[in-house]
Amino acid sequence: MKFATWNINGIKARIDVLTAWLEESRPDVVCLQEIKSVDEGFPREAIERLGYEVATHGQKGFNGVAILSRHHLEDVERGLPGDDDDLQARFIEAAISVPCGVVRFAGLYLPNGNPLGTEKFPYKLGWMARLEARARARLAWEEPYLMMGDYNVIPEPIDARTPAAWVGDALFQPESRAAWRRLTGLGYTDCLRAGSDAQTFTFWDYQAGCWPRDEGIRIDHVLASPQATDRLRAVGVDRHVRGWEKPSDHVPVWVELDVAARARG
Protein backbone atom coordinates (compact mmCIF):
# COMPACT_ATOMS: atom_id res chain seq x y z
CA MET A 1 0.00 0.00 0.00
CA LYS A 2 1.37 3.38 -1.04
CA PHE A 3 1.40 6.42 1.30
CA ALA A 4 2.59 9.80 0.06
CA THR A 5 3.13 13.36 1.20
CA TRP A 6 3.23 16.52 -0.92
CA ASN A 7 3.36 20.23 -0.16
CA ILE A 8 1.11 21.30 -3.00
CA ASN A 9 1.65 25.08 -2.53
CA GLY A 10 -1.93 26.09 -3.28
CA ILE A 11 -4.51 23.46 -4.16
CA LYS A 12 -6.48 25.64 -6.58
CA ALA A 13 -3.35 26.63 -8.51
CA ARG A 14 -2.10 23.02 -8.66
CA ILE A 15 -5.30 20.97 -9.06
CA ASP A 16 -4.38 19.89 -12.60
CA VAL A 17 -0.87 18.91 -11.51
CA LEU A 18 -2.28 17.02 -8.53
CA THR A 19 -4.86 15.06 -10.48
CA ALA A 20 -2.33 14.18 -13.18
CA TRP A 21 0.04 12.86 -10.52
CA LEU A 22 -2.74 10.93 -8.76
CA GLU A 23 -3.60 9.21 -12.04
CA GLU A 24 0.06 8.45 -12.74
CA SER A 25 1.17 7.34 -9.28
CA ARG A 26 -2.11 5.96 -7.85
CA PRO A 27 -1.19 6.29 -4.16
CA ASP A 28 -3.58 4.85 -1.61
CA VAL A 29 -3.19 7.75 0.83
CA VAL A 30 -1.85 11.26 0.27
CA CYS A 31 -1.17 13.95 2.87
CA LEU A 32 -1.14 17.45 1.36
CA GLN A 33 0.30 20.61 2.91
CA GLU A 34 -0.15 24.30 2.14
CA ILE A 35 -3.53 23.81 0.52
CA LYS A 36 -4.16 27.55 1.16
CA SER A 37 -7.92 27.03 1.16
CA VAL A 38 -10.78 26.99 3.61
CA ASP A 39 -12.53 23.64 3.90
CA GLU A 40 -15.58 24.65 1.87
CA GLY A 41 -13.40 26.03 -0.93
CA PHE A 42 -11.32 22.87 -1.40
CA PRO A 43 -11.85 21.45 -4.95
CA ARG A 44 -12.79 18.01 -3.68
CA GLU A 45 -14.97 17.03 -6.63
CA ALA A 46 -12.05 16.62 -9.03
CA ILE A 47 -10.28 14.41 -6.49
CA GLU A 48 -13.35 12.42 -5.49
CA ARG A 49 -13.93 11.57 -9.16
CA LEU A 50 -10.63 9.68 -9.01
CA GLY A 51 -11.90 7.55 -6.15
CA TYR A 52 -10.53 9.41 -3.15
CA GLU A 53 -12.20 10.32 0.12
CA VAL A 54 -11.13 13.79 1.27
CA ALA A 55 -10.59 15.25 4.74
CA THR A 56 -9.35 18.81 5.16
CA HIS A 57 -8.17 21.18 7.85
CA GLY A 58 -8.10 24.43 5.96
CA GLN A 59 -7.24 28.05 6.53
CA LYS A 60 -7.86 31.06 4.35
CA GLY A 61 -4.89 32.16 2.26
CA PHE A 62 -2.10 30.11 3.84
CA ASN A 63 -1.26 26.89 5.70
CA GLY A 64 -3.90 24.15 5.54
CA VAL A 65 -3.52 20.38 5.33
CA ALA A 66 -5.57 17.59 3.79
CA ILE A 67 -5.78 13.82 3.46
CA LEU A 68 -6.85 11.99 0.30
CA SER A 69 -7.56 8.28 0.66
CA ARG A 70 -8.82 5.42 -1.48
CA HIS A 71 -9.93 3.80 1.77
CA HIS A 72 -12.45 4.97 4.34
CA LEU A 73 -10.88 7.41 6.79
CA GLU A 74 -11.37 6.70 10.47
CA ASP A 75 -10.57 8.67 13.64
CA VAL A 76 -9.93 11.94 11.81
CA GLU A 77 -8.40 14.54 14.14
CA ARG A 78 -7.58 18.13 13.23
CA GLY A 79 -4.98 20.26 15.00
CA LEU A 80 -1.86 19.36 16.98
CA PRO A 81 -2.66 19.04 20.69
CA GLY A 82 -0.83 20.99 23.33
CA ASP A 83 -1.76 24.63 22.67
CA ASP A 84 -5.43 25.63 22.54
CA ASP A 85 -4.45 29.13 21.41
CA ASP A 86 -2.74 27.89 18.25
CA LEU A 87 -5.24 28.36 15.42
CA GLN A 88 -2.91 27.63 12.52
CA ALA A 89 -4.07 24.69 10.39
CA ARG A 90 -0.95 22.55 10.28
CA PHE A 91 -1.84 19.02 11.47
CA ILE A 92 -4.35 16.34 10.53
CA GLU A 93 -4.41 12.69 11.53
CA ALA A 94 -6.47 9.66 10.51
CA ALA A 95 -6.41 5.88 10.23
CA ILE A 96 -7.48 3.25 7.74
CA SER A 97 -8.37 -0.39 8.34
CA VAL A 98 -6.13 -2.86 6.50
CA PRO A 99 -5.60 -6.64 6.66
CA CYS A 100 -2.94 -6.28 9.38
CA GLY A 101 -5.33 -4.21 11.49
CA VAL A 102 -4.89 -0.45 11.16
CA VAL A 103 -2.41 2.03 9.79
CA ARG A 104 -2.51 5.46 11.40
CA PHE A 105 -0.88 8.52 9.84
CA ALA A 106 -0.45 12.23 10.39
CA GLY A 107 -0.02 14.92 7.76
CA LEU A 108 1.89 17.92 9.06
CA TYR A 109 3.13 21.29 7.92
CA LEU A 110 5.77 22.34 10.42
CA PRO A 111 6.34 26.10 10.86
CA ASN A 112 9.13 27.62 8.81
CA GLY A 113 10.56 29.65 11.69
CA ASN A 114 12.03 32.53 9.71
CA PRO A 115 13.17 35.15 10.21
CA LEU A 116 15.41 34.30 13.12
CA GLY A 117 15.18 36.77 15.98
CA THR A 118 11.39 37.01 15.74
CA GLU A 119 8.62 35.12 17.51
CA LYS A 120 8.43 32.74 14.55
CA PHE A 121 11.46 30.68 15.56
CA PRO A 122 10.30 29.98 19.16
CA TYR A 123 6.89 29.06 17.68
CA LYS A 124 8.62 26.54 15.41
CA LEU A 125 10.52 24.97 18.30
CA GLY A 126 7.43 24.91 20.49
CA TRP A 127 5.48 23.21 17.71
CA MET A 128 8.21 20.61 17.38
CA ALA A 129 8.07 19.94 21.13
CA ARG A 130 4.32 19.35 20.84
CA LEU A 131 4.91 17.06 17.87
CA GLU A 132 7.45 15.11 19.92
CA ALA A 133 4.84 14.64 22.67
CA ARG A 134 2.33 13.40 20.11
CA ALA A 135 4.87 11.06 18.55
CA ARG A 136 5.80 9.65 21.97
CA ALA A 137 2.14 9.07 22.84
CA ARG A 138 1.46 7.27 19.56
CA LEU A 139 4.35 4.87 20.16
CA ALA A 140 2.48 3.55 23.18
CA TRP A 141 -0.31 2.38 20.85
CA GLU A 142 2.11 -0.03 19.16
CA GLU A 143 0.54 0.50 15.73
CA PRO A 144 2.00 1.21 12.30
CA TYR A 145 2.13 5.01 12.39
CA LEU A 146 3.48 7.44 9.81
CA MET A 147 4.21 11.14 10.31
CA MET A 148 4.34 12.62 6.81
CA GLY A 149 4.81 16.15 5.67
CA ASP A 150 6.83 19.28 5.16
CA TYR A 151 8.97 19.43 8.29
CA ASN A 152 10.86 22.57 7.25
CA VAL A 153 13.99 20.95 8.67
CA ILE A 154 17.19 20.09 6.78
CA PRO A 155 18.45 17.21 8.95
CA GLU A 156 22.05 16.95 7.74
CA PRO A 157 24.48 18.77 5.41
CA ILE A 158 23.94 16.06 2.77
CA ASP A 159 20.32 17.21 2.59
CA ALA A 160 21.29 20.51 0.93
CA ARG A 161 23.18 21.09 -2.30
CA THR A 162 24.91 24.08 -0.70
CA PRO A 163 24.77 23.70 3.11
CA ALA A 164 26.64 26.96 3.72
CA ALA A 165 23.78 28.89 2.14
CA TRP A 166 21.44 27.70 4.92
CA VAL A 167 23.56 28.41 7.98
CA GLY A 168 21.53 31.50 8.86
CA ASP A 169 18.15 29.90 8.11
CA ALA A 170 15.69 28.45 10.64
CA LEU A 171 15.52 25.22 8.63
CA PHE A 172 19.16 24.41 9.39
CA GLN A 173 19.62 25.81 12.90
CA PRO A 174 21.15 23.52 15.55
CA GLU A 175 17.95 23.78 17.61
CA SER A 176 15.76 22.68 14.67
CA ARG A 177 18.03 19.77 13.85
CA ALA A 178 18.26 18.73 17.50
CA ALA A 179 14.46 18.66 17.70
CA TRP A 180 14.45 16.44 14.60
CA ARG A 181 16.96 14.09 16.22
CA ARG A 182 14.76 13.86 19.30
CA LEU A 183 11.94 12.62 17.08
CA THR A 184 14.05 9.95 15.45
CA GLY A 185 15.58 9.16 18.83
CA LEU A 186 12.17 8.09 20.09
CA GLY A 187 12.39 5.15 17.70
CA TYR A 188 11.01 6.62 14.48
CA THR A 189 12.74 5.83 11.18
CA ASP A 190 13.53 8.46 8.56
CA CYS A 191 12.20 6.32 5.72
CA LEU A 192 14.18 7.89 2.89
CA ARG A 193 17.45 7.46 4.77
CA ALA A 194 16.50 3.88 5.62
CA GLY A 195 16.36 3.19 1.89
CA SER A 196 19.38 5.17 0.65
CA ASP A 197 22.34 7.31 1.68
CA ALA A 198 22.24 9.15 -1.65
CA GLN A 199 21.77 12.90 -1.81
CA THR A 200 18.11 13.47 -2.61
CA PHE A 201 16.09 16.69 -2.60
CA THR A 202 12.36 17.42 -2.25
CA PHE A 203 12.28 21.23 -2.63
CA TRP A 204 13.73 23.67 -5.14
CA ASP A 205 12.94 27.38 -4.76
CA TYR A 206 11.27 29.12 -7.68
CA GLN A 207 13.93 31.84 -7.58
CA ALA A 208 17.45 32.05 -9.03
CA GLY A 209 17.17 29.01 -11.28
CA CYS A 210 17.31 26.57 -8.37
CA TRP A 211 15.56 23.76 -10.25
CA PRO A 212 17.73 23.84 -13.41
CA ARG A 213 20.88 24.05 -11.25
CA ASP A 214 19.59 21.38 -8.83
CA GLU A 215 20.05 23.74 -5.86
CA GLY A 216 17.66 21.74 -3.73
CA ILE A 217 17.10 20.71 -0.14
CA ARG A 218 15.38 17.78 1.56
CA ILE A 219 12.69 19.03 3.97
CA ASP A 220 9.76 16.72 3.18
CA HIS A 221 9.98 13.58 5.28
CA VAL A 222 8.18 10.41 6.30
CA LEU A 223 8.89 9.15 9.81
CA ALA A 224 7.73 5.64 10.63
CA SER A 225 7.06 3.95 13.95
CA PRO A 226 8.84 0.63 14.56
CA GLN A 227 5.67 -1.24 13.57
CA ALA A 228 5.50 0.68 10.28
CA THR A 229 9.23 0.32 9.69
CA ASP A 230 8.89 -3.45 9.96
CA ARG A 231 6.47 -3.28 7.03
CA LEU A 232 8.44 -0.81 4.89
CA ARG A 233 9.02 -2.17 1.39
CA ALA A 234 9.94 0.83 -0.80
CA VAL A 235 10.61 4.57 -0.61
CA GLY A 236 10.72 7.14 -3.39
CA VAL A 237 10.74 10.78 -4.41
CA ASP A 238 8.82 11.75 -7.57
CA ARG A 239 11.40 14.32 -8.61
CA HIS A 240 10.17 14.53 -12.20
CA VAL A 241 6.98 16.31 -11.11
CA ARG A 242 9.00 19.46 -10.39
CA GLY A 243 9.57 19.76 -14.15
CA TRP A 244 5.87 19.79 -15.02
CA GLU A 245 4.00 22.92 -16.04
CA LYS A 246 3.00 25.15 -13.08
CA PRO A 247 4.58 22.85 -10.48
CA SER A 248 4.76 23.17 -6.73
CA ASP A 249 8.22 23.98 -5.44
CA HIS A 250 8.04 20.65 -3.54
CA VAL A 251 7.68 17.14 -4.97
CA PRO A 252 5.88 14.05 -3.63
CA VAL A 253 7.63 11.65 -1.27
CA TRP A 254 6.14 8.17 -0.86
CA VAL A 255 6.56 4.90 0.96
CA GLU A 256 5.09 1.46 0.37
CA LEU A 257 4.06 -0.72 3.31
CA ASP A 258 3.20 -4.39 3.38
CA VAL A 259 -0.18 -4.35 5.13
CA ALA A 260 -0.95 -8.06 4.77
CA ALA A 261 -2.00 -10.00 7.85
CA ARG A 262 0.79 -12.18 9.20
CA ALA A 263 0.41 -15.61 10.68
CA ARG A 264 0.94 -15.80 14.43
CA GLY A 265 3.28 -18.19 16.11
Q: Is 206 a catalytic residue?
A: no
Cα distance between residue 138 and residue 225, in whole Å:
9
CB 261 within 8 A of CB 9: no
- Do the annotations mark residue 175 as ligand-binding? no
Catalytic residue among 28, 52, 57, 150: 150
- Do the annotations mark residue 9 as ligand-binding? no
CB 249 within 8 A of CB 219: no
If 0-12 CB within 10 Å is exposed, 13-18 middle and 19+ buried, where does residue 112 land?
A: middle
In the chain, beta strands by DSSP E = 2-7, 29-33, 53-57, 65-69, 74-78, 91-98, 101-109, 145-150, 189-190, 220-224, 232-237, 253-257
Catalytic residue among 28, 52, 57, 109: 109
- Do the annotations mark residue 34 as ligand-binding? yes
Cα distances (angstroms) measured from residue 255 to each of 61, 115, 171, 232, 259: 30, 32, 23, 7, 12
CA proximity to 103, closest of 243, 211, 231, 248: 231
Q: Is 150 a catalytic residue?
A: yes
- Do the annotations mark residue 7 as ligand-binding? yes
Q: Is 250 a catalytic residue?
A: yes
Q: What is the dihedral of CA 219, 39, 43, 109, to 10 degrees?
A: 0
* Backbone φ/ψ region at 149: left (φ over 0), alpha (ψ -120 to 50), beta: left
18: CB partners within 8 A, 6+ apart = 6, 8, 11, 32, 47
Binding site for Mg(2+), by residue number, is 7, 34, 150, 152, 249-250
The residues annotated as belonging to the active site are 109, 150, 250
Binding site, by residue number, is 7, 34, 150, 152, 249-250
